[in-house]
Amino acid sequence: MKKLYFVGLALILAAAISIIAYGAYLNETGEKQITERMESRTIPLHGEKIKVRNIRPVFLLETINLNSDEMADAVALIDGRIENSFVKKNSDVRRGQVLFELVNEDIPIKIQQADSSIAKAQAQVLRARNSFNRYERLRDKNATSLEKYDEAKMNYEAAEAGLREAQAVKDQLLVQDSRQDVIAPIDGEVLILYKQIGAYVQAGTPIALVGNFERLNFSLPVEDSRARQISIGEHFELNFRNSDSFRKAYDTEYGAGNLGNAQIFSVYVKEIMPNLSQAAEMRKVVFEIDNRVGILEQQAYSNVELTRTTPHKVLAVPLAALSDNRQHVFVATADNKLERRKISVGSDDGKYAEVFSGLKEGETVITSATKGLTEDTKVTVTLSEDKN
């Protein structure tokens, strides 16, 4: 019995060891198969080839400061009190147009005094001339001395000089009298009235601000390499993303045909400074805006889009491929693995961005969602249909 017992126990132990060994074999085989499957697994993704494209770059500007070359004060040229005003705020005016009339009560009195001085001077000239003519006749007859003749001549010349001086004083007063009219210094619109009827002003006091906002300017700092891709006279389009931008600081009038918040403004490059013929790392590009619709004024505006109207041929990457604040992309390598690549990009047109560095023409970038992707992952890439 004991022999049979030990034989049975041995068989049970052998069976248990066999089962454990077989389980270990199955476990090792399964892990190996899982590893092989994981290594051979590929992730399906979408991508696009890098190529040279024509894009119309859009530049997002946080703030631009608009200014006008045509703004000037209508200034009082003499002391006086404002007697009449011929314009109101927002009146359209032309250069030389009379805006206000001043009254200086001293000027008419001084003109009368000047007239009196002229009359006296004229009388003195008449007497001096008669005396000189008489001595001139006597000299011709040798009936007077040369000294008396010279004295008569000098008195006559002095009297004429006195008359000219008196006339000059009146001419000055007449100029001052004409300056009682305050005129518009430029064509434009009355933006501000500094003074009202009845106010007393001194010479040099601004009475009204006149401005013309039909053409407005703004400037941007641009690197030399970018400035050389821009030409004077080139056209851009400007629009405002902030619907609250069109506030009126000067309460100017709107022009006919404006589209309000949907307005797109025509802009052209007015000047590049320093000139491109001179060496410089940074330049200032000056733009001029066509504002005949009367929406904009001289002030600061925020959230602005500046779009280049002329297509710009550049090496371009889809915006959908960019990650990490537009600093990285995933590239599908020749052996169908992912490579995380650092790149540098510039302006974009809302779909593609210009590539400065990090990518070459013909490479494939991943445009699928890139979150969670890692380098060296095997992929199968379906290229997006390219209609460009």
Q: Could you read off the pLDDT of 20-34 as tens digits, one per residue?
A: 665 665 565 555 544
Please give the model's pTM, rounded to 2 decimal places: 0.68
- The percentage of the chain sitting over the pLDDT mark of 90, rounded to a whole number, equals 57
| In-domain check, residue 19 | no
| In-domain check, residue 264 | yes
Query: Would you state the pLDDT for residue 98?
Result: 96
The total number of structural domains in the chain stands at 3
State the average pLDDT over residues 325-346: 92
For residue range 278-331, what is the model confidence (pLDDT) as tens digits? 999 999 999 999 999 999 999 999 999 999 998 888 999 999 999 999 999 999
> Residue 329 sits in a domain of what CATH number?
2.40.420.20
| In-domain check, residue 346 | yes
For residue range 244-290, what is the model confidence (pLDDT) as tens digits? 678 888 989 898 999 988 899 999 999 999 999 999 999 999 999 99
Residues 340 and 253 in one domain: no
Average pLDDT, the chain: 87
Residues 350 and 326 in one domain: yes
| In-domain check, residue 244 | yes
Residues 319 and 292 in one domain: no
Query: Would you state the pLDDT for residue 135?
Result: 84
For residue range 114-131, what is the model confidence (pLDDT) as tens digits? 899 999 989 998 998 998
Single residue among 271, 294, 312 that ends a domain in this structure = 312
For residue range 354-379, what is the model confidence (pLDDT) as tens digits? 999 999 999 999 998 778 888 888 98
State the average pLDDT over residues 172-195: 91
Show the 3-state SS of the chain: CHHHHHHHHHHHHHHHHHHHHHHHHHHHHHHHHHHHHHHHCCEEEEEEECEEEEECCEEEEEEEECECCCEEEEECCCCEEEEEECCCCCCEECCCCEEEEEECCHHHHHHHHHHHHHHHHHHHHHHHHHHHHHHHHHHHCCCCCHHHHHHHHHHHHHHHHHHHHHHHHHHHHHHHHHCCEEECCCCEEEEEECCCCCCEECCCCEEEEEECCCEEEEEEEEEHHHHCCCCCCCEEEEEECCCCCCCCCCCCCCCCCCCHHHCCEEEEEEEEECCCCCCCCEEEEEEEEECCCCCCCCCEEEEEEEEECCCEEEEEEEHHHCECCCCEEEEECCCCEEEEEECEEEEECCCEEEEEECCCCCCEEECCCCCCCCCCCEEEEEECCCCC
State the average pLDDT over residues 37-60: 83
| In-domain check, residue 250 | yes
Query: Would you state the pLDDT for residue 36?
Result: 46
Print the domain residue range for 354.
43-54+313-383
pLDDT category at 15 given cuts 50, 70, 90 is: low
